[in-house]
Chain A
Amino acid sequence: MAEFNTKSMSYVLRVNGREYPVTDVEPRMLLADILRDTLRLTGTHLGCEHGVCGACTVLVDERPVRSCLMLGVQARGRNIETVEGISDTDSLSPLQEAFWEHHALQCGFCTPGVLMTAQHFLKTHERATRQQVREALSGNLCRCTGYQPIVDAILSLVEDASGPTP
């Protein structure tokens, strides 16, 4: 059996533009668990804990990251964005509105990870084809929607470069 260093440590994480003290946690704790259990930011979900389903996707320095494959301590000094930071409390962001409009979520469990992937995609694409949107979603599994309404929602926010459908 591997012996883990269970000696606790403390550090600071910058999440959604705010500094959070993380005190007396084991160094082995995953970023996802730090966000969820220590900081009580439970919008980030865990679906597989082995980096496939993408439900735990957050942005670290603007890039999508599986928070189940990164230690909390590795995120020190980085900019972490989670679903809770997408919009202020009064209104939904255009992305969230588009998901609502297109029925792009059902159970909502994969949704936070999908939204973070989409945030990154929209930041890096002004035009896109349907296939590009689908490729961008390749790291997020959804068992409810069949993806089609998610693709519709994201595509509604960029210039559609797909061309006419045959």
Chain B
Amino acid sequence: MTAIGKPVKRLVDPRLLRGHGRYVADIHRPGLLHAAFVRSVHAHAEIIGVDISRARGLAGVVAIWTPDEVAFSPLPLLFAHPKLDPVTQTPLGHMVHHVGEPVAIVVATSRYRAEDAIAAIRVEYRVLSGVAFLHEALSKGAPRVHRDRPHNLAGEFEQRVGDAQAALREAPVVVHDHFEVGRISCMPIETRGLLAEWDGGLDKHLTVYAATQTPHMMRHIYGQYFGLEAENVRVVAPDVGGAFGAKEPFYVEDLVVAWAARELSRPVVWIEDRLEHLSAAVHEREQIHESAMGLTRDGRILAVHDQFLAGTGAYVPWGIIVPIITSTLIPGTFQVPHYLCHAKVAYTNTTPLAPYRGAGRPQAAMVINRLLDAAALKLGLDPAEIRRRNFIPTDAFPYETGLISREGSPMVIDSGDYPDLWETLLQEGQYSYWRQRQKALDEDDRAIGIGVAIALENTGMGPFEGAVVSVKENGTVTVATGAASQGQGHETSLAQIVADVLGVRMDSVRVHEGDTDAVPLGTGTFASRTAAIAGSAAHGASLLVKQKILAMAGQLLEASADDLDLKDGRVHVKGVPEKSLTLGDLAFMAQGPFPGSTYSWPIEPGLSATHYFVPAGAVYSASAHLVVVEVEKHTGQIKILHYVSAHDCGREINPLIVKGQIIGGIVAGIGTALYEEVLYDREGQLLTNSLMDYLIPGAVEMPDIISLSQGTPTPLNPLGVKGVGESGAIPSPQAVSAAVQDAVRGWGIAIRRVPVHSQDVYLRDPRS
């Protein structure tokens, strides 16, 4: 083993640094047409008519389709759940249920011409009442989001361990909490987009280049819609400019653009603009929680009861997975003997919600950590100490939580060492030092606050991922996998794994991903799963190839497999380096001798193997954050002075990439805590239409972050790897808002909502 565990520079970078990336908007085709969408300006309306008479005659306009000309069936339900009453979007239907929903499509010779046509189209709406605010969605008499449904409840479910209500009644100490999390946009810097082209030969064939996290899922849905066999649909995710969840669901545009390309027998591209991204690409977070915790007088948790309301917007593009994840992760790294969580999911006339980096986990981390902070305050305990008293003990793994996981099976935490993770954070993060300095640093015009939080993260979910590893005649090793990269550097991490098993240099390994033609089955990249699942598949396939190499080389070199070694692209007899063969030569020979002769190798033809890794269950990462903030008393300006993260993602394949994921995730979490929020008015008009209204973290206001690793390997995959892609984003909103709360507690301000803004925390009476 040489490459795994090293901070290897990424293989993809030189290409991207030269401006030679190939994102979907960079792909050109002869005769390419450009699509643009007319979008609803109302949150709930019936489309009475669409006047395209002026638009039709404009230069460059090739086709316009409105609800009067097309009849699509609703999008398929992804991630069904028995407690879910699903409504999925009907492409270009006569009813619209949120601002930004597509109403009509224009295809023209350029995007400019397509948008000219859009400006010339007149849509006549019959505006209906609707509901935009989550807290009003389930009120008596609330307008209905969907006219054909009796109410706005999308689903309701419970998680239960023991009897939390009884335990709360008997608990000597009880704390209560109420808080809300605002609505967040995923906001990759590359928006969504796709290019679709049909080959009109004997066999109709569809090729789609899409900025997607889930190419195989797209292929499957296209196959169903268009009645095509899987081999007649190819979906390619080229370079993808970030995703964070936005590119995980299947959208109306994905279908309609491919359909238009078929109708016109021309390639068609659509690239989302930023306004469209804010109004039509999925959002997340939005939840309202009421919770209570019962404890002993020495601060040991007896019970937690949480009731929450989660928004799903107008549809359910990814089931109700986000609130399910929240409900399973509230106990987190703590022993909670009695637990009850009751969740309601409501429709509103707003953009649909689906996983964004973190996916329900930051909300769960807020519930438990806020309750523990409240309990510590009530009991006069330090927030660091009360957590110490409640961690799942290190000798308790595998730990049966008694909960039902998102997969529907009992939730068992595979591994971890939370007390050690916590002490690492507190010591390296200089917690005592900052607590001591806190009072000294408080000045007349500002206050210092310290926040801590710890969170559990289920990663590496199923169902599976596959890898095909092949040695080529020139000694190059190719790895094909169903995962798709949006910046996570899979091409490097997977190459490290394969290089180690086969004893080849990393730069002779080529990783192909994001192409449904590269590997027959695939799942995709989401839920921090690729290193653990695709990594394990690549590892397994490499081992199979290694066996073939040893069998063939054993015959050729007249040695047993035990006496052979793989190194520097060669297989040689141990201690006799001159008795060796290159892997390229073996690959050439494994293709078989001259046609007509007899194949005599002890392996199947081809130095190649396929392996699908099917995880037994999720693997659980953990991360703990310590934040120090300064709040200016009369302006409420919040400045982060100190940020430390300690995380456990098992064995790290590439510490450089891991650290990059952690810091990037934390900055996203700081955005959730302090800046970002998609806002609607009561009529469902989107108020945050641009990056001037929707604020994402910039370089100036972000701190330098210290990232510490712990690393308890999971027994559930051969590499010991747990996911890390979302980790940074999970405890951060809570750690930051807790630090702000700590700072302003003395001013009588209670923070019950993130994002927390300056206008929420300045001291209103300047005389005090």
Closest CB of chain A to B241's CB: distance in Å? 3
Task: Indicate if A66 sits at the interface (CB-CB under 8 A).
Answer: no
Task: Indicate if B668 sits at the interface (CB-CB under 8 A).
Answer: yes
Residues of the A chain whose Cβ atoms lie less than 8 Å from the Cβ of B370: none
Task: Indicate if A156 sits at the interface (CB-CB under 8 A).
Answer: no
Residue-by-residue, is B664-681 near A (CB-CB < 8 Å gives 1, otherwise 0)? 111110000000000000
Residues of the B chain whose Cβ atoms lie less than 8 Å from the Cβ of A37: 28
Residue-by-residue, is A85-102 near B (CB-CB < 8 Å gives 1, otherwise 0)? 011010010001001110
Residue-by-residue, is B236-247 near A (CB-CB < 8 Å gives 1, otherwise 0)? 000111101000
Task: Indicate if B488 sits at the interface (CB-CB under 8 A).
Answer: yes
- Contact status A100-B17, CB under 8 Å: yes
- Contact status A140-B699, CB under 8 Å: yes
Task: Indicate if A80 sits at the interface (CB-CB under 8 A).
Answer: no
Task: Tell me the complex Cα distance, A54–B702, Å.
Answer: 17
Residues of the A chain whose Cβ atoms lie less than 8 Å from the Cβ of B488: 106
Task: Indicate if A127 sits at the interface (CB-CB under 8 A).
Answer: no
Task: Indicate if A125 sits at the interface (CB-CB under 8 A).
Answer: no
Task: Tell me the complex Cα distance, A55–B271, Å.
Answer: 15
Task: Indicate if B190 sits at the interface (CB-CB under 8 A).
Answer: yes
- B10-45 interface (Cβ within 8 A of A): 10, 12-14, 16-23, 25-26, 28
Query: Which interface class (under 10, 10 to 19, 20 to 34, 35 or more) fits A?
Result: 35 or more
- Contact status B9-A109, CB under 8 Å: no
Closest CB of chain B to A162's CB: distance in Å? 10
Closest CB of chain B to A108's CB: distance in Å? 3
Residue-by-residue, is A136-161 near B (CB-CB < 8 Å gives 1, otherwise 0)? 01101111111111110000000000
Residues of the B chain whose Cβ atoms lie less than 8 Å from the Cβ of A2: 119
Q: Decide yes or no: A148 and B704 within 8 Å by CB, A108-B21, A109-B188, A143-B242 being known contacts.
A: yes
Most chain A Cβ neighbours within 10 Å, of B274, B486, B664: B664
Q: Decide yes or no: A109 and B189 within 8 Å by CB, A47-B274, A143-B696 being known contacts.
A: yes
Q: Decide yes or no: A92 and B14 within 8 Å by CB, A103-B659, A106-B660 being known contacts.
A: yes
- Contact status B244-A52, CB under 8 Å: no
Q: Which residue of B lies closest to A52 (CB)?
A: B691
Task: Tell me the complex Cα distance, A135–B19, Å.
Answer: 24
Residues of the A chain whose Cβ atoms lie less than 8 Å from the Cβ of B657: 103
Task: Tell me the complex Cα distance, A103–B489, Å.
Answer: 10
Residues of the A chain whose Cβ atoms lie less than 8 Å from the Cβ of B274: 47-50, 53
- Contact status A48-B18, CB under 8 Å: no
Q: Which residue of B lies closest to A83 (CB)?
A: B19
Closest CB of chain A to B705's CB: distance in Å? 6
Task: Indicate if B1 sits at the interface (CB-CB under 8 A).
Answer: no
Residues of the A chain whose Cβ atoms lie less than 8 Å from the Cβ of B700: 131, 134-135, 137-138
Task: Indicate if A69 sits at the interface (CB-CB under 8 A).
Answer: no
- Contact status A105-B690, CB under 8 Å: no
User: Which residue from A45, A48, A115, A138 sits with its C-beta under 8 Å from B17?
Assistant: A115
- Contact status A45-B241, CB under 8 Å: yes
Residues of the B chain whose Cβ atoms lie less than 8 Å from the Cβ of A107: 188-190, 239-242, 486-487
Task: Tell me the complex Cα distance, A86–B698, Å.
Answer: 25
- Contact status B699-A137, CB under 8 Å: yes
Residues of the B chain whose Cβ atoms lie less than 8 Å from the Cβ of A29: 112
Q: Decide yes or no: A52 and B9 within 8 Å by CB, A99-B17, A103-B659 being known contacts.
A: no
Q: Which residue of B lies closest to A99 (CB)?
A: B17
- Contact status B668-A143, CB under 8 Å: yes
Q: Decide yes or no: A53 and B21 within 8 Å by CB, A92-B14, A107-B242, A109-B190 being known contacts.
A: no
Q: Which residue of B lies closest to A115 (CB)?
A: B17
Q: Which residue of A lies closest to B691 (CB)?
A: A52
- Contact status A46-B25, CB under 8 Å: yes
Residue-by-residue, is B320-356 near A (CB-CB < 8 Å gives 1, otherwise 0)? 0000000000000000000000000000000000000
Q: Is the interface of B mostly helix, strand, loop or mixed?
A: loop
Q: Which residue of B lies closest to A6 (CB)?
A: B59
Residues of the A chain whose Cβ atoms lie less than 8 Å from the Cβ of B666: 146
Most chain B Cβ neighbours within 10 Å, of A109, A133, A148: A109
Closest CB of chain B to A164's CB: distance in Å? 14
- Contact status A1-B16, CB under 8 Å: no
Closest CB of chain B to A137's CB: distance in Å? 4
Task: Indicate if B80 sits at the interface (CB-CB under 8 A).
Answer: no
Task: Tell me the complex Cα distance, A107–B9, Å.
Answer: 14
- Contact status B18-A100, CB under 8 Å: no
Task: Indicate if A67 sits at the interface (CB-CB under 8 A).
Answer: no
Task: Indicate if A42 sits at the interface (CB-CB under 8 A).
Answer: yes
Task: Tell me the complex Cα distance, A100–B21, Å.
Answer: 15
Task: Tell me the complex Cα distance, A92–B664, Å.
Answer: 25
- Contact status B660-A138, CB under 8 Å: no
Q: Decide yes or no: A103 and B10 within 8 Å by CB, A48-B691, A138-B700 being known contacts.
A: yes
Closest CB of chain B to A125's CB: distance in Å? 15
Q: Decide yes or no: A28 and B242 within 8 Å by CB, A105-B13, A141-B696 being known contacts.
A: no
- Contact status B664-A144, CB under 8 Å: yes
Task: Indicate if A62 sits at the interface (CB-CB under 8 A).
Answer: no
Task: Tell me the complex Cα distance, A151–B664, Å.
Answer: 13
- Contact status B660-A145, CB under 8 Å: yes
Task: Indicate if B202 sits at the interface (CB-CB under 8 A).
Answer: no
- Contact status B19-A112, CB under 8 Å: yes
Task: Indicate if A119 sits at the interface (CB-CB under 8 A).
Answer: no
- Contact status B26-A42, CB under 8 Å: yes
User: Which residue from A46, A53, A135, A148 sits with its C-beta under 8 Å from B691?
Assistant: A53
- Contact status B660-A87, CB under 8 Å: no
- Contact status A142-B704, CB under 8 Å: no
Q: Which residue of A lies closest to B32 (CB)?
A: A37
- Contact status B9-A100, CB under 8 Å: yes
Residues of the B chain whose Cβ atoms lie less than 8 Å from the Cβ of A40: 28
Residue-by-residue, is A34-63 near B (CB-CB < 8 Å gives 1, otherwise 0)? 001100111111111110110100000000
Residue-by-residue, is B698-710 near A (CB-CB < 8 Å gives 1, otherwise 0)? 1110101100000
- Contact status B667-A146, CB under 8 Å: yes
Task: Tell me the complex Cα distance, A51–B581, Å.
Answer: 58
Task: Indicate if A130 sits at the interface (CB-CB under 8 A).
Answer: yes
Residues of the A chain whose Cβ atoms lie less than 8 Å from the Cβ of B241: 45, 47, 107-110
Task: Indicate if B273 sits at the interface (CB-CB under 8 A).
Answer: yes
Task: Tell me the complex Cα distance, A53–B190, Å.
Answer: 10
Task: Tell me the complex Cα distance, A37–B112, Å.
Answer: 12
Closest CB of chain B to A62's CB: distance in Å? 18
- Contact status B691-A146, CB under 8 Å: no
- Contact status A143-B188, CB under 8 Å: yes
Q: Decide yes or no: A45 and B23 within 8 Å by CB, A92-B17, A101-B9 being known contacts.
A: yes
Closest CB of chain B to A103's CB: distance in Å? 5
Residues of the A chain whose Cβ atoms lie less than 8 Å from the Cβ of B235: none
Q: Decide yes or no: A26 and B112 within 8 Å by CB, A82-B19, A86-B18, A143-B244 being known contacts.
A: yes
Task: Tell me the complex Cα distance, A37–B110, Å.
Answer: 10
Residues of the B chain whose Cβ atoms lie less than 8 Å from the Cβ of A24: none
Residues of the B chain whose Cβ atoms lie less than 8 Å from the Cβ of A126: none
Task: Indicate if B493 sits at the interface (CB-CB under 8 A).
Answer: no
User: Which residue from B19, B120, B271, B668 sits with its C-beta under 8 Å from A43?
Assistant: B19
Task: Indicate if B683 sits at the interface (CB-CB under 8 A).
Answer: no
Q: Decide yes or no: A148 and B189 within 8 Å by CB, A46-B25, A103-B10 being known contacts.
A: no
Residues of the B chain whose Cβ atoms lie less than 8 Å from the Cβ of A46: 25, 271
Residues of the A chain whose Cβ atoms lie less than 8 Å from the Cβ of B659: 103
Q: Decide yes or no: A52 and B692 within 8 Å by CB, A108-B12, A144-B664 being known contacts.
A: yes
Q: Decide yes or no: A100 and B14 within 8 Å by CB, A107-B240, A108-B239, A143-B244 being known contacts.
A: yes
Closest CB of chain B to A121's CB: distance in Å? 12
Task: Tell me the complex Cα distance, A134–B179, Å.
Answer: 33
Residues of the A chain whose Cβ atoms lie less than 8 Å from the Cβ of B271: 46
Query: Beyond A45-B23, A50-B274, A146-B666: 15 further Cβ-contacts under 8 Å?
Result: A42-B25, A50-B691, A53-B189, A83-B18, A84-B18, A86-B17, A101-B9, A108-B12, A108-B13, A111-B16, A130-B704, A133-B699, A134-B700, A143-B664, A145-B660
Query: What are 12 residue pairs bridging A and B, where the CB atoms are less than 8 Å apart in the complex?
Result: A41-B19, A49-B273, A82-B19, A92-B18, A100-B10, A103-B660, A108-B241, A109-B242, A111-B17, A134-B702, A137-B699, A141-B691
Closest 3 CB pairs of A and B: A43-B19, A109-B241, A107-B487
